[in-house]
Amino acid sequence: MNRRSLRTTLVTVVVACVVLNLERSVQAAQPVVRLQPLSQTVLVFDHAVLRVSAAGTAPLSYQWRRNGVPLVDDGRFSGTGTNLLSITELLPADAGTYSVVVTNAEGSTVSSNALMTVAERVQLRRSAGSPWWADGSFHLSAATFRGWPDLIVEASEDLLHWQPLLTNTVADGFAEMVVPAGGRIPQFYRVQLPDAITLTILGDNYCYAQGTSADWGFSCLLEGTEKTVLFDTGGTASSLFANMATLRMTLTAIDEVVISHDHWDHTAALDPILQTNHQVTVWLPYSASTATRALVERSGAILRQEREAVAVCQNVYLSGELVGTVANEQALILETPQGLVVIVGCSHPGIVSMLERVKQQRNREIYWVIGGFHLIDNQANDLPRSEILSVIEGVKNLGVKKCSATHCTGGLAISLFKEAFGEDYEAVGTGRTLVIPR
């Protein structure tokens, strides 16, 4: 080989090495997010999807976060380790900023934040196409996203005294209020649903609304009936009172207190409640302990214990004490045009047996069952799938139309009840308000 040929060969090798190194440097790159996740507003219980597209040296791994906290797949959340995050049955507590960390051997990068806003079924909002101000007037609108026909818009200056501003009877559940130019603009607004009974979850294992806290136990407040009824008092007084404060509810509004059974996770706040409001009637199970009875008697509240079914007030009843292996228990029953709404604490006598007894007592079909079904063992582990499915079959065979399982039901059982009832399943948790036509 002559010198010229050797030089040509060396140049070719050098050029080839430079090209190879360039290719390697292009291939060996840390991730770059090319398509960022998009902010969105989704109605409660709808489905949301967040997506990113990234480039860089393969393989790429993904970790989705909400408010900076890593997410895991849990039934409602899926794809937390992929480029596509899916959230089913979106809850208000799911609102926040979402981002994804993309990682490979060369390093990692974080996407921009996407704001997820969750719209409740009842909202105050600006009317479509109208600004807050138009022609010198103040515009405000309200809507019920699930088609409740009537609305009352109320306003307040101090969150204590409320004045109705507008009553709406439009069939699509939409109302617009206008304060004329020069008129006084109230500071606070709310929407009321007339001719409705509401059931608000104050204590539960699961969090539904932002600003509320979950704790092991159960408590709910029934409003819109002849008397306001508190059913059970939760697992801790601190979380119950904090949730009531967040939801703008007061202890003095309670007329009746019903205790499903004498376990700590249903009676924890009973004593401090009675210290604040002893002008109530307390309905204890017939077999409640001497200590619990003495607590009520010391407070000056009226104590009621009934072995058989009894009326609490108009259209609200107790089942009477039902015998269970772990504890005896009573259920709260609401008569509605759709059928019976049955509220249970832990269903220690067995949820199917309890519903059979209630249906026989009231001689009516059961529209909705809400509460804890206790389909876990003593260590809080899920019962076998076959056993849970047998219970679900028993509930369905009784003709129950709607279901909201929570508290001690267990994660597997809740998911199976959701699957069995489909659109007739209503998820619950602290801060959730269920609306029941009357």
Residues 81 and 146 in one domain: no
**Domain edge (last residue) among 175, 192, 209:** 192
In 351-410, which residue ranges form alpha helices assigned H by DSSP?
351-362, 385-397
- Regions of the chain with pLDDT less than 70: 1-28, 120-136, 141-150, 166-177, 182
pLDDT value at position 92?
78
72 shares its domain with 149: no
The residue written with tokens 């990682």 in the block is: 103
Q: Where are the beta strands (DSSP E) in 44-131?
A: 48-51, 53-55, 61-66, 69-70, 77-78, 84-87, 96-104, 107-110, 114-119, 122-125
Q: Are 366 and 342 in contact (CB under 8 A)?
A: yes
Please answer whether residues 368 and 417 qualify as being in contact, where contact means their C-beta atoms are separated by less than 8 angstroms: no
Q: Are residues 332 and 359 in the same domain?
A: yes
Same domain, 162 and 229: no
Among 192, 226, 254, which residue terminates a domain?
192
pTM, 2 dp: 0.69
**Distances in whole angstroms, Cα of residue 301 to Cα of each of 126, 220, 256, 316, 318:** 46, 20, 10, 20, 19
pLDDT at site 365: 97
Q: What is the pLDDT of residue 211?
A: 84
Q: How many other CB atoms are there within 10 angstroms of residue 326's CB atom?
A: 12
Tens of pLDDT, residues 185-201: 777 777 777 777 889 99
Question: How many domains, in total, are found in the chain?
Answer: 4
- Assign residue 68 the CATH number of its domain: 2.60.40.10
Same domain, 251 and 357: yes
pLDDT, residue 126, reads 36
One-letter amino acid for residue 387 of the chain: E
Question: Among positive and negative, which fits the CA dihedral 200, 206, 209, 210?
Answer: positive
Count of helices and strands (H, E) across the chain = 8, 31
**Domain annotation covers residue 125:** no
Residue 162, pLDDT score: 81
Q: In this predicted structure, what is the pLDDT of residue 121? A: 54
Q: Indicate if 323 and 397 belong to the same structural domain.
A: yes
Query: 51 and 7: one domain?
Result: no
Q: Which domain holds residue 410?
A: 196-437
pLDDT on residue 74 = 87
- Whether 77 and 109 map to the same domain: the answer is yes
Co-location of 326 and 399 in the same domain: yes
Q: What angle do CA 338, 318, 333 make, to 5 degrees?
A: 15
Task: Give 73-110 pLDDT, tens digit per residue.
Answer: 987 899 999 999 999 878 878 989 999 999 999 999 99
Whether 186 and 223 share a structural domain = no
